[in-house]
């Protein structure tokens, strides 16, 4: 067990971001308490049901030039990969406008890609190292990742995005014919082209990974407390402790890593961050007739297909809606239909055989997380808003938070992730 000597740091939220952060802070010798009202790794959190991809190629934001033209179709097409619930449109409008603006030009997208690359380039190795520390090495598999296309022309139509990936140093190989069949024998041969991300990795059980890391941390002296943080006890800009539903907690520093619930906590500290629920779904077939050695993203379905400990999982869909709106399970059925279309051996499978899940990606409009200090107190650090890449980018986020806490020069430039980038004054100076 590590003997803590440093500060007492409270990490708010036990998703993959909070738990990875706790591990980084423990490594620096701090005394760490993680606070969450729910069990780490449980299905309530985005970190449970995601696509398990740890991809250095996940650097492109969802918002891209010309997307605004597709909004009417998105509203009208209930089966598309990206939809908006009509009744939530007025409340989502301010976020949506910023979202479309953030991807309005190729230069903006390129800037975001470069920023995300700084978090993702070595994500597989960082996860492998974290898992090894915790004795969970079997949960991180560094076998590569495959993006599959029906035709090379579909890949060429995405030349801008793939060019950005190449320019930021993502190692990739184009494969066709027999090489593609060997890499993905279960995939429908109608997929005739693929891009292999050799350095990519995946997690065999994202929820179990968070739970396993939390258990290991507990064994190392980290306290995991079941409670909900409701406020901060500040005195002249210094943090004295946290106000929690079941009593207060004295601490020297706090890290807000509460996923979607981080926004009201940051707003209470004077940092209004626009955060929306990009809701997603998964279906998981326990008795699939094959396993995928390499996870696959068939580009037409825009879904991550991966063999987890629970079975064959298809995760994806972006549904912009109120976070507490009831799940629309038709979206999980769409994923299931895509699965059946992508893998001929599933032709007889029915959706009733699959487990299904819905979760909320904590998403900023510009697709970048918020990593930095609170403006009101330097004792509070933000680590939230990881949208589509929270699993992959958690270890680098954790390292950056640890740098801030230690007063070290951060290992990556944090300007792009600043919590104040959404404020009017900041935007006017750009
Ligand atoms: C369908 C889908 C597919 C995805 N696929 C991928 C993928 O392949 N690769 C990838 O990298 N990412 C993927 N993601 C994104 C990824 O899952 C998220 O970015 C990531 O899980 C966010 O982690 P988090 O720790 O910030 O939030 P969460 O996992 O949501 O955890 C937040 C925690 O904070 C706790 N909390 C909330 N309020 C409070 C409070 N007041 N006090 C204390 N605790 C609180 C919650 O109980 C929860 O446990 C996907 C997401 C979805 C939905």
86 shares its domain with 165: yes
Q: How far is the CA of 295 from the centre of ligand 1 (A)?
A: 21
Q: At what angle do helices 106-120 and 390-406 cross, to 10 degrees?
A: 70
pLDDT digits (tens, 9 = 90+) for 258-278: 999 999 999 999 999 999 999
Mean pLDDT estimate for the chain = 94
Q: Is residue 130 part of a domain?
A: no
Question: Looking at 75-89, 207-221, 345-359, 398-412, which range is the least confident one?
Answer: 75-89
3-state percent helix, strand, coil for the chain, nearest multiple of 5: 40, 25, 35
Q: Cα of 384 to ligand 1 centre, how many Å? A: 9
Residues 347 and 373 reside in one and the same domain: no
Ligand 1 touching residue 10 (CB < 6 A): no
Q: Is residue 67 a part of any domain in this protein? A: yes
Partners of 84 in beta bridges: 320
> 165 C-alpha to center of ligand 1: Å?
25
> 261 and 183, same structural domain?
no
Q: Are 25 and 9 in contact (CB under 8 A)?
A: yes
Domain contains 125: no
Q: Out of 229, 259, 370, give the residue to mutate to test ligand 1, the one with the largest number of ligand atoms within 8 Å of its CB.
A: 259
Give residue 102 CA to ligand 1 midpoint distance, Å: 22
For the stretch 323-363, pLDDT in tens is: 999 999 999 999 999 999 999 999 999 999 999 999 999 99
Whether pLDDT at 167 is above 60: yes
Whether 212 and 71 share a structural domain: no
Residue 64 and residue 165 in one domain:
yes
Closest residue to atom 19 of ligand 1, CA basis? 390
Decide if pLDDT at 426 tops 70. Answer: no
- By the 10 Å C-beta count (0-12 exposed, 13-18 middle, 19+ buried), 8 is classed as middle
Q: Is residue 128 part of a domain?
A: no
Domain boundary at 330, 363, 396, which? Answer: 363
Residue 1 lies in a domain: no
C-alpha to C-alpha distance for 175 and 189, rounded to whole angstroms: 13
What average pLDDT does this structure show over 188-212? 98
CATH number at residue 257: 3.50.50.60
Which pair of structure tokens corresponds to residue 280?
A: 């997603």
Same domain, 280 and 340: yes
Does pLDDT of 401 surpass 90? yes
Residue 54 placed within a domain: no
| Judgement on whether residues 39 and 97 belong to the same structural domain of the protein | no
Same domain for 158 and 37: no
pLDDT band at 72 (very low <50, low <70, confident <90, very high): confident
Lowest average pLDDT, out of 23-27, 47-51, 78-82, goes to 78-82
Residue 212 and residue 68 share a domain? no
pLDDT band at 211 (very low <50, low <70, confident <90, very high): very high
User: Residues 278-313: pLDDT tens digits?
Assistant: 999 999 999 999 999 999 999 988 899 999 999 999
367-393 core/surface letters (b: 16 or more CB in 10 A; e: else)? bbbbbbbbbbbebbbbbbbbbbbbbbb
Residue 76 burial (CB count, 10 A): 10
Backbone angles phi, psi at 315, to 5 degrees: -125, 140
Q: What is the CATH number of the domain that holds 323?
A: 3.30.9.10
- pLDDT, residue 165, reads 98
Q: Which two tokens stand for residue 263?
A: 């926004």
**Residue 93: domain span:** 60-114+138-200+275-363
**424 band by pLDDT with thresholds 50, 70 and 90:** low
- Number of structural domains, the chain? 2
Residues 80, 178 share a domain: yes
Quote the pLDDT of residue 88.
92
For residue 260, the model assigns a pLDDT of 98
Are residues 105 and 178 both part of a single domain? yes
Taking residue 330's Cβ as centre, other Cβ atoms within 10 Å add up to 10
Instruction: Check whether 430 has a pLDDT greater than 70.
Output: no
């Amino acid at each position: 067990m590590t003997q803590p000597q440093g500060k007492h740091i409270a990490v708010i939220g036990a998703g993959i971001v909070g738990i990875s952060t706790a591990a980084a802070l423990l490594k620096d010798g701090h005394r760490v308490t993680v606070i969450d009202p729910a069990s780490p790794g449980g299905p309530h959190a985005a970190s449970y049901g995601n696509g398990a991809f740890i991809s250095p190629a996940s650097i492109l934001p969802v918002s891209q030039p010309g997307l605004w033209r597709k909004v009417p179709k998105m509203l009208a097409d209930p089966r598309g990969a990206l939809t908006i619930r009509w009744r939530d449109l007025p409340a989502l409008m301010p976020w949506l406008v910023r979202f479309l603006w953030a991807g309005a030009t190729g230069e903006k997208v390129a800037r975001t890609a470069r920023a995300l690359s700084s978090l993702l380039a070595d994500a597989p190795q960082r996860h492998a190292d974290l898992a090894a520390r915790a004795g969970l090495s079997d949960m991180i598999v560094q076998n590569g990742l495959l993006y599959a296309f029906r035709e090379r022309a579909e890949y060429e139509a995405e030349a801008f995005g793939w060019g950005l990936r190449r320019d930021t140093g993502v190692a990739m190989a184009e494969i066709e014919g027999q090489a593609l069949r060997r890499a993905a024998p279960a995939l429908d041969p109608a997929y005739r082209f693929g891009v292999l991300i050799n350095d990519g990795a995946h997690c065999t059980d994202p929820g179990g990974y968070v739970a396993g890391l939390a258990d290991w941390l507990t064994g190392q002296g980290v306290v995991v407390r079941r409670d909900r943080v409701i406020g901060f006890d500040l005195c002249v800009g210094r943090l004295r402790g946290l106000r929690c539903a079941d009593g207060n907690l004295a601490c020297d520093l706090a890290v807000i890593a509460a996923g979607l619930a981080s926004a009201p906590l940051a707003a209470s500290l004077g940092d209004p961050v626009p955060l929306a629920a990009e809701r997603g779904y998964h279906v998981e077939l326990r008795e699939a007739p094959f396993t995928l050695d390499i996870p696959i993203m068939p580009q037409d379905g825009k879904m991550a297909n991966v063999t987890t400990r629970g079975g064959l999982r298809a995760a994806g869909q972006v549904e912009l809606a109120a976070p507490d709106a009831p799940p629309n399970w038709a979206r999980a059925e769409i994923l299931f239909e895509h699965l059946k279309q992508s893998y001929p051996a599933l032709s007889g499978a029915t959706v009733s055989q699959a487990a299904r899940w819905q979760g909320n990606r904590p998403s900023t409009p510009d697709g970048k997380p918020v990593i930095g200090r609170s403006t009101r107190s330097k004792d509070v650090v933000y680590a939230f808003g990881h949208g589509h890449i929270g699993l992959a980018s958690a270890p680098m986020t954790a390292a950056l938070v640890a740098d801030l806490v230690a007063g070290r020069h951060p290992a990556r430039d944090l300007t792009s992730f600043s919590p104040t980038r959404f404020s009017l004054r900041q935007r006017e100076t750009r």
